[in-house]
Amino acid sequence: MYYPDPDYGIYMIKASDPAADWSDPVLVFPGKGIIDPCPLWDTDGKVWLVHAYAGSRAGIKSVIAIAPMNEAGTKVTGPDHIVYDGHVDDPTIEGPKIYKRNGYYYIFAPAGGVSTGWQLVLRSKNLMGPYERKVVMDQGKSTVNGPHQGAWVTTQTGEDWFLHFQDKEAYGRVLHLQPMHWIHDWPVIGVDKDGDGKGTPVLSYKKPNVGKTYPITTPAESDEFNQRTLGLQWQWEANSSGRWLMTGENGCLRLYAHHTPDAKTLWDIPNILAQKFPADSFEVTTKLRLTPNEKNGAQHAGLVVLGLDYASLSIVNQGDGYVLQQGICKAADRGGVEKNTVITKLKVPEVWLRVDVHNPGPNRASCTFYYSLDGNKYQAVTGNFIPTPGKWTGAKIGLYATAEKGSNDEGYADFDFFRVTALNASETK
């Protein structure tokens, strides 16, 4: 597996090796701003690496280059050469994938920008060009903007398909699968209704024929927290620590109220356990109980929708009891200040929290928070929150517990469950 570090170059790790160590990768191609690598083992036994450049690091972009490699594909053995310049017709061309078919070399690459671009294919009889260009898919009249990056795949039955993503703002980068076929040695991706060789993306289509039928499944979302390990849907905001949590104890997730000394807002907190938005519209409900440690000052535990702007609903311990508090922060990555509003006082530090994520328009999201003191009747928190993307990601929804001060021990919050349901599928609010 090849992956780029924009500051240092292209690295490789043998992902198929069970003993592969991500902490000790092989530096394949040193250089600042070298990104989006893809290898080609040619029919003559030679090996090549196609890549793009990140303008922010390399000082140049909108070009595609190819470099020779050793037979094992573990080291670039000579200088790279630019084989296509997209400055005029295909600005910000990047993400190349290289193939060989019917005597042609093909470079599939997106151009025009992540959310506004098109899918380009270059072809040549010679690896180093010159290359012909053709736009083989763009947004057209579909709602799938971009479409960006991607790769050609062939099923067990010989069908051709194309995988790519769409940037949907707060919903993140959503994966699409498009039909693909060949006309006169050019690929056509998506549906080409006017026959001009340029397709548009489809939102629904006949499933690929892979030789057998599989049951319909969706990625994991909800979690009853009955297991000793977290599901693959969860991710931390930073490299994780085993002291942040305890799982599977009495059917709860226990998050310890960790103190981060330099944190000004939740944007700076590493121990937020979150997952990506699972759909355009959905509802999340959780139940939590806070057990603070008086030595740690104010402790917060709750539910957060996290992006460059974020909103949270949490239990906070105060000197005279507990409150339910909403926090909202704009431009958190640029030093925005969190504004807090007390929603209600709590007799006990236990509450059910809910957020509904609505989809009022293409690539738009809106969130409404709720709380309940008995798990049956929910009260809306005034005002809707408009989520924003994070850094290179969509918004996330997650759980957290934090402390104002550090000590030799930490309080904690027990989350009984995290349930994702279709919007309006729950009982009366």
Q: For the chain, give every domain's residue range.
A: 2-189, 235-421
The secondary structure of 283-305 as a DSSP string is EEEEEEEEE--GGG-SEEEEEEE
Q: Give the pLDDT score at 1.
A: 85
Q: Can you give the C-alpha Rg of the chain in angstroms?
A: 25
CA dihedral 369→314→396→265, nearest 10 degrees, is 130
Residues 240, 363: contact at Cβ < 8 Å?
A: no
Secondary structure of residue 320 in the 3-state scheme: coil
73-81's contacts with Cβ under 8 Å and 24+ in sequence apart are 73/12, 73/28, 73/39, 73/41, 73/47, 73/49, 74/12, 74/26, 74/28, 75/26, 75/28, 75/29, 76/10, 76/28, 76/29, 76/49, 80/29, 80/49, 80/51, 81/128
2-189 homologous superfamily: Glycosyl hydrolase domain; family 43 (2.115.10.20)
Indicate the CATH number of 235-421 among 3.10.20.30, 2.60.120.200, 1.10.3720.10, 3.40.50.720: 2.60.120.200
Q: Give the pLDDT score at 429.
A: 43
Q: What is the C-alpha separation between 324 and 328, in angstroms, rounded? A: 14
Phi-psi region of 292 (alpha: psi -120 to 50; beta: other; left: phi over 0): beta
Q: What angle do CA 172, 239, 23 make, to 5 degrees?
A: 105
Sign of dihedral through CA atoms 416, 422, 423, 425?
negative
CA 321 and chain centroid, separation: 39
Report the DSSP pairing between strands 118-124 and 104-111.
Answer: antiparallel
pLDDT, averaged in runs of 10, over the chain (429 residues): 88 66 80 96 97 95 98 96 98 98 98 96 98 97 94 96 96 96 97 95 95 92 94 94 91 96 96 96 98 96 98 94 97 97 97 96 93 97 94 95 95 97 64
CA 28 and chain centroid, separation: 26
- Measuring CA to CA, which residue among 278, 258, 253, 280 is closest to residue 268? 258
8-12's contacts with Cβ under 8 Å and 24+ in sequence apart are 8/32, 9/34, 10/34, 10/37, 10/49, 10/51, 10/76, 12/73, 12/74
Q: Give the pLDDT score at 427.
A: 42
Q: What is the C-alpha separation between 186 and 213, in angstroms, rounded? A: 30
418 burial type by CB count under 10 A (0-12 exposed, 13-18 middle, 19+ buried): buried
| Residue the block writes with tokens 């849907």 | 233
